[in-house]
């Protein structure tokens, strides 16, 4: 066991763990952030997706000892107080989830996409979520949810850049 400091959602967390332990397991078991899910634990399903230095990555495939210098963001770090992130809102408004197990992973993949490309095509959305698996929804509503978020982000941006009319 080794004492490590992790940077998650803007806070420091001290953990005493095997540095080879998967990041997903540390996030859930040692830090207690249960929004990140573990499905396959083999890099296939995407349920464990988090941001590592802003990039969507499968946390079950990362040894925790390898990310001590990185900024990690989990699904719990997206909302600002009571205000959901537009991608979270999109999943609510467009019914992008059923059981919800896959949802945090999809949302982390989608937020990473929209940070780089705020107006993605349907093909670009499909590419961004190709590493995430959903057994319930059939994907159409997930794509609708991400398109909703892109529209909301672009509306916010254009209202911020419009000068007040008074
Ligand atoms: S739990 Fe990480 S990809 Fe499935
Ligand atoms: S909503 Fe159930 S696995 Fe996606």
Q: Is the C-beta atom of 100 inside 6 A of ligand 2?
A: yes
Domain boundaries, the chain: 2-76, 86-161
Q: Is the C-beta atom of 28 inside 6 A of ligand 1?
A: no
Q: Is the C-beta atom of 92 inside 6 A of ligand 2?
A: no
- Percentage of the chain modeled with pLDDT above 90: 93
The CATH architecture one would assign to domain 86-161 is: Orthogonal Bundle (1.10)
Average pLDDT estimate for 121-150:
97
- Of 95, 107, 84, 91, nearest in space to 35 by CA: 107
| CATH code at 2-76 | 3.10.20.30
Q: Which of 101, 107, 146 to mutate to test the pocket of ligand 2 (most atoms within 8 A of CB)?
A: 101
In terms of C-beta distances under 8 Å and separation of at least 24 residues, what long-range contacts does 77-85 make, across chains too?
A: 77/8, 77/9, 77/10, 78/107, 78/111, 85/111, 85/149
Per DSSP, what are the bridge partners of residue 43? none
Cβ contact 50:71 at 8 Å:
no
CA of 51 to the centre of ligand 1 (A): 14
Q: Please state, rounded to an integer, the average pLDDT across all residues of the chain.
A: 95
114-134: per-residue pLDDT in tens? 999 999 999 999 999 999 999
74-100: per-residue pLDDT in tens? 999 999 999 999 999 999 999 999 999
What does the pLDDT read at residue 36?
A: 98
């Amino acid at each position: 066991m080794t004492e490590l400091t992790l940077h998650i959602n803007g806070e420091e967390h001290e953990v005493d763990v095997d540095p080879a332990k998967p990041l997903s397991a540390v996030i859930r078991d040692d830090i207690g952030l249960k929004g990140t899910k573990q499905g396959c634990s083999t890099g296939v399903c995407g349920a464990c997706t988090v941001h590592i230095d802003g990039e969507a990555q499968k946390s079950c495939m990362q040894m925790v000892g390898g990310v001590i210098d990185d900024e990690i963001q989990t699904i719990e770090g997206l909302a600002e107080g009571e205000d959901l992130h537009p991608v979270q809102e999109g999943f609510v408004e467009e019914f992008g989830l059923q059981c919800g197990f896959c949802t945090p992973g999809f949302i982390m993949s989608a937020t990473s996409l929209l940070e780089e490309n705020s107006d993605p095509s349907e093909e670009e959305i499909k590419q961004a979520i190709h590493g995430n698996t959903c057994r319930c929804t059939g994907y159409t509503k997930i794509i609708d949810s991400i398109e909703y978020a892109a529209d909301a982000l672009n509306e916010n941006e254009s209202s911020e850049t419009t000068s007040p009319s008074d």
